[in-house]
Structure 1
Amino acid sequence: MTAAGGQPAWELLLPAAAAPARRRGRALQEALREAVRTGRLTAGTRLPSSRDLAADLGVSRGLVTEAYEQLTAEGYLRSDRGSGTWVGDAARAAAPEARGPADRGPAVRVDFRPGTPDLSLFPRSAWSAAHRSVMSRLPHGALGYPDPRGLPELRTALAAMLARRRGVVADPERLVVCSGVAQASTLLGFALHARGLRTVGIEDPGSPEHGRLFASTGLDALWLPMDEEGLLPGPLAASGVRAVVLTPSHQFPSGIAYSAGRRAALLDWARRVDGWIMEDDYDGDFRYDRAPVGALQGLDPRRVVYAGSVSKSLAPGLRLGWMLVPEGMVDEVVDRKRTMDLGNPALDQALLAEFVARGGYDRQLRRCQRAYRERRDALVAALRQELPGTRVSGIAAGLHVIARVPGRYGPPRSFLERAAAAGVALRPLEDYGTARPADGDVRLVIGYAHLGPAEIARGVRLLARACAPSGGGGGGRPAPTVPAGRTPTGGRSVSDTSD
């Protein structure tokens, strides 16, 4: 037997034969599997008899026979009675995609792309204490298959917290624990599809992820235009859709809060067409100039499906979220949740219930708000100093801002290319909708929550140097001193008043 490249096959197995006696058989099987997977033993290669291979390797014949039988059962080898053992053709090695240095792109030195909180702020000590507390008293029966709606104690704790913090109408019996807003969208999409809907409206600009999630349930996404007050009622009514996804407390990505008049108009539309609004309250707790704007759901819980999660407040990796479902839709959503995953992990739910009930969640939100406000201020100050003329909006809340960089710093495509070459990762506003402005300005959605103040300042300096207008430096006049805990403009944007 000869391996690919002319190497005697038994040499591939010598390390396995030298393994400790207790694991020599398993090592031999692993070595044979790897040789077949990687193509070192090619399909159609005839293997030595068990007696010959055992003699070559210095192991017992029974060890080789057992390895042949196991790999034959798995499909790596085939055995024809009376004619020996051969390498089968079922295994196919996954050839790594060849990528040269140019394909990988420049290394990212500072990443301003939005969507990620500071994961180092996760409250490890408090979470560990909650874990110990839960494990000391959780009954054995609680570790069985959970209620697909969620553990009763978590639904009760979340309902109380959401009513207090977000002003929602929160009945624990209508609250469904889910794997973040992503699963909430999917659950709602299936329920709407079952009711005959085939299209859902999404904000333009907005999150493309909404469209992708609803597409997975058979619903098409229709971009609907906005103005400075929120989604426009006229185009919505003309579209014929009966369901929309909104981010009214802090619109993503523009940063505006829907006006009271626009909220009322959209609820009137939903009642008139027998429609539904999904409210994605992705970062509603993070507002820095005053108390957060209350949730839309509080105005009409029969027409609004409210969804939120701990992805921005704790960590997206926990995959814990919630949705408040109108009474007439609860059974459909719960049935779909049951068939989808049988419910979220019981231990994780019990941990979150403990964390919320003991006040840990409120303390975590206060800690994050202090850190993120400081970073927001650092970003605004750095943009003023390093990229003079940049207009910043959407700074009153959330974890990102909209920066409109003057066209003198370069056409948008050139600006983004130079930024990438300097190691600064950015997302243009155009990635989040259909609008393609022709004024030459560069519109960016800049995330700051995951970066410290010093890293923010360094990133903006790198950006300014890379994208400096021809004939001038990247910096500008020093920014005015900003008192600790305040924004340069009292919580509103630097050059306009939208938030």
Structure 2
Amino acid sequence: MTAPVPPLQLSQRWHYAKEQAISFLMQQAVENPQVISLAAGLVDADSLPVAETRHACERLLADDLAARNALQYGTTAGAVRLRRQILNLFAELEGRSPADLGITPEQIVLTTGSQQLLSIACEVLLDPGDICLVSGPTYFVFCGNLNGVGAEPIVIPADEHGMDTDKLESALQILEQAGQLSRVKLIYSVSYYENPSGICLADERRKRIVELARKYSKSHRICVLEDAAYRELRYDGPAHPSIWGYDATRSSVLYTQTFSKSFSPGVRIGFAVLPADLVKPVCDRKGNEDFGSPNFNQHLLAMVLESGEYRSHVDQVCAAYRAKRDAMLAAASEFFSDLEGVSWVRPHGGLYVWMSLPAHIHTGFSSELFRTAVAEGVMYVPGELSYAGPRESVPRNQMRLSFGVQGVDGIREGMQRLARAVRKIMSGR
């Protein structure tokens, strides 16, 4: 007779991280293939760099020595060849020469997309019970990273200019008065065309976030984690300086960016620009996970950057997304403008339009609207997922709409279906 199998004892960290919303959204997409997804944050398949990647692979594999080097293990921090190219790219984005940045390639760490850096930063900087200040709304997967290490998020309200830095300072003052400032370790900001809201953080607030982090770094350093995943997806509007650029000492801001949106998510390469004394802690933790992100992909991307094809590809990507953004905004105006209490943000870049409904219309997974929308053949991301903290205290009438995957016709049809669902709920049918 076989002995009974004892129950599996899972870790506390699993309990922190369970029930991720992204899993539910993926399940819904698989189970409802006829539904037009305005939820998926995937990139436009037609814009993926097939020709550029083929050219880079051909050049890389044509040299046996270079090919073997690329096919071998790399280093935890990443290929020096690519890190030097990224230093040049970063300098271009900052409007400076590489020599004027005040950093070296050794302060650049290559990651498996920028998401890996978000995760590692939480693991390196936050213990259970520590505090991270985030805007409301914010990138909902990062909220999962905070949950995964047992950290406490404190939500700072945002407006059309991003995180409200007056309210950020008020929160820091309250924590200090309560004797809790020692728990504050991190401020997180999606600085460009935020996922989910599409809002760009105002320049004066970028500077003030750095000033506040330094002002309240009394017993220890409070760091700023700048998530610039969408920086290169700018379609119009001003070019903004990074938060990192306001950190004159290069000691407070961790900057992360990814090539998933601007080049290819399948290549899975991102990078971090780190304070010098954080490079080893980040690499120590990263080394426990992977010994380094995919080495072949790093050399392939270095080829693309060296050839000059990267910049022309980014221009093509931005042109494609600009047309899609315009299609979604036109459809919003066509199908929603006569609905009282409905509004949306016009983003200057990124992949998302943020829509708000009348306060009494809930948009969550269990809401009547979500069920009605799926029945109409369209899906969105409920806005409440993008707020950290208890669900009962967050707005429940918002939604994130993505224009990344669908073509122009699919966007218009999806928005029409969504408007039908909203009208049914508003009319009580």
Please state which band the TM-score falls in when normalised by the shorter chain: 0.7 to 0.9
How far off is 1:326 after superposition?
A: 0.2
**Aligned residue for 1:431?**
385
State whether residues 243 and 253 of structure 2, in contact with CA within 8 Å, keep that contact through their aligned partners in structure 1.
Answer: yes
Give the alignment of 1:444-459 within 5 angstroms. 444-459=399-414
Unaligned runs of 5+ in 2: 6-27, 176-180
Task: Write the deviation string for residues 240-295 of structure 1: whole angstroms up to 9, x where unpaired.
Answer: 31212111222332222222332222111221212100101110111222343221
How far off is 1:337 after superposition?
A: 2.1
State whether residues 189 and 219 of structure 1, in contact with CA within 8 Å, keep that contact through their aligned partners in structure 2.
Answer: no
**Aligned residue for 1:112?**
38
How far off is 1:117 after superposition?
A: 1.2
Task: Return the alpha-carbon distance in structure 2 between the equivalents of residues 141 and 470 of structure 1.
Answer: 59
Alignment of 1:200 onto 2:129: no
**Aligned residue for 1:270?**
213
Task: Write the deviation string for residues 199-231 of structure 1: whole angstroms up to 9, x where unpaired.
Answer: 322222112311322443x35031322232333
State whether residues 130 and 185 of structure 2, in contact with CA within 8 Å, keep that contact through their aligned partners in structure 1.
Answer: no
Structure 2 CA distance for partners of 1:164 and 1:200, relative to 1, 3 Å? same
Report the structure number with the largest CA radius of gyration: 1
Question: Secondary structure at 2:266's aligned position in 1?
Answer: helix
How far off is 1:348 after superposition?
A: 0.9
Paired residue for 1:260, among 180, 184, 203?
203
Task: Return the alpha-carbon distance in structure 2 between the equivalents of residues 250 and 471 of structure 1.
Answer: 30
Paired residue for 2:301, among 331, 339, 352?
352
Alignment of 1:224 onto 2:155: yes
Give the alignment of 1:8-87 within 5 angstroms. none
Task: Return the alpha-carbon distance in structure 2 between the equivalents of residues 470 and 419 of structure 1.
Answer: 10
Alignment of 1:162 onto 2:90: yes
Question: Secondary structure at 2:236's aligned position in 1?
Answer: coil
Structure 2 CA distance for partners of 1:406 and 1:360, relative to 1, 3 Å? same
Normalized against structure 2, the TM-score is what?
0.78
Amino acid of the residue matched to residue 163 of structure 1?
A
**Aligned residue for 2:75?**
147
How far off is 1:462 after superposition?
A: 1.9
Question: Secondary structure at 1:364's aligned position in 2?
Answer: helix
Structure 2 CA distance for partners of 1:183 and 1:470, relative to 1, 3 Å? closer
Task: Return the alpha-carbon distance in structure 2 between the equivalents of residues 330 and 437 of structure 1.
Answer: 39
How far off is 1:233 after superposition?
A: 2.5
**Aligned residue for 1:402?**
354
**Aligned residue for 1:183?**
116
How far off is 1:359 after superposition?
A: 1.6
How far off is 1:442 after superposition?
A: 4.1
How far off is 1:314 after superposition?
A: 2.5
How far off is 1:107 after superposition?
A: 4.6
How far off is 1:352 after superposition?
A: 0.5
Alignment of 1:415 onto 2:347: no
State whether residues 402 and 444 of structure 1, in contact with CA within 8 Å, keep that contact through their aligned partners in structure 2.
Answer: yes
Task: Return the alpha-carbon distance in structure 2 between the equivalents of residues 150 and 130 of structure 1.
Answer: 18
Task: Return the alpha-carbon distance in structure 2 between the equivalents of residues 201 and 318 of structure 1.
Answer: 31
**Aligned residue for 1:128?**
54
Normalized against structure 1, the TM-score is what?
0.68
How far off is 1:316 after superposition?
A: 2.3
Task: Return the alpha-carbon distance in structure 1 between the equivalents of residues 59 and 188 of structure 2.
Answer: 38
Task: Return the alpha-carbon distance in structure 2 between the equivalents of residues 113 and 349 of structure 1.
Answer: 30
Task: Write the deviation string for residues 328-357 of structure 1: whole angstroms up to 9, x where unpaired.
Answer: 111222222223211122211100111112
Structure 2 CA distance for partners of 1:89 and 1:249, relative to 1, 3 Å? closer
Structure 2 CA distance for partners of 1:441 and 1:302, relative to 1, 3 Å? closer
How far off is 1:136 after superposition?
A: 1.6
**Aligned residue for 1:279?**
226
**Aligned residue for 1:238?**
174
Task: Return the alpha-carbon distance in structure 2 between the equivalents of residues 437 and 141 of structure 1.
Answer: 53
Task: Return the alpha-carbon distance in structure 2 between the equivalents of residues 266 and 290 of structure 1.
Answer: 22
Amino acid of the residue matched to residue 408 of structure 2?
P
Paired residue for 1:251, among 178, 185, 194?
194
Paired residue for 1:461, among 413, 416, 423?
416
Structure 2 CA distance for partners of 1:407 and 1:414, relative to 1, 3 Å? farther
State whether residues 374 and 453 of structure 1, in contact with CA within 8 Å, keep that contact through their aligned partners in structure 2.
Answer: yes
Give the alignment of 1:297-312 within 5 angstroms. 297-300=244-247, 301-312=250-261
Amino acid of the residue matched to residue 457 of structure 1?
R
Task: Return the alpha-carbon distance in structure 2 between the equivalents of residues 108 and 372 of structure 1.
Answer: 23
Task: Return the alpha-carbon distance in structure 2 between the equivalents of residues 215 and 411 of structure 1.
Answer: 24
Task: Return the alpha-carbon distance in structure 2 between the equivalents of residues 292 and 447 of structure 1.
Answer: 22
State whether residues 255 and 393 of structure 1, in contact with CA within 8 Å, keep that contact through their aligned partners in structure 2.
Answer: yes
Alignment of 1:171 onto 2:114: no
**Aligned residue for 1:376?**
325
Question: Secondary structure at 1:460's aligned position in 2?
Answer: helix
State whether residues 383 and 398 of structure 2, in contact with CA within 8 Å, keep that contact through their aligned partners in structure 1.
Answer: yes
| Count of residues in correspondence between the two structures | 373
What percent of counterpart residues are identical? 24
RMSD (CA atoms)? 3.2
State whether residues 112 and 294 of structure 2, in contact with CA within 8 Å, keep that contact through their aligned partners in structure 1.
Answer: no
Task: Return the alpha-carbon distance in structure 2 between the equivalents of residues 252 and 307 of structure 1.
Answer: 14
Alignment of 1:213 onto 2:145: yes
Task: Return the alpha-carbon distance in structure 1 between the equivalents of residues 169 and 195 of structure 2.
Answer: 18
How far off is 1:374 after superposition?
A: 0.6
How far off is 1:469 after superposition?
A: 5.0
Structure 2 CA distance for partners of 1:359 and 1:450, relative to 1, 3 Å? same
State whether residues 187 and 225 of structure 2, in contact with CA within 8 Å, keep that contact through their aligned partners in structure 1.
Answer: yes
Unaligned runs of 5+ in 1: 1-42, 45-87, 91-101, 475-499
State whether residues 202 and 221 of structure 1, in contact with CA within 8 Å, keep that contact through their aligned partners in structure 2.
Answer: no
Structure 2 CA distance for partners of 1:420 and 1:207, relative to 1, 3 Å? same
Question: Secondary structure at 1:285's aligned position in 2?
Answer: coil
Amino acid of the residue matched to residue 91 of structure 2?
A
Structure 2 CA distance for partners of 1:303 and 1:470, relative to 1, 3 Å? closer
Task: Write the deviation string for residues 434-463 of structure 1: whole angstroms up to 9, x where unpaired.
Answer: 59899x994221100211111111112222
Task: Write the deviation string for residues 162-203 of structure 1: whole angstroms up to 9, x where unpaired.
Answer: 110245835311000011122112222233248x98332222
Task: Return the alpha-carbon distance in structure 2 between the equivalents of residues 243 and 174 of structure 1.
Answer: 19
Task: Return the alpha-carbon distance in structure 1 between the equivalents of residues 426 and 278 of structure 2.
Answer: 62
How far off is 1:108 after superposition?
A: 4.2
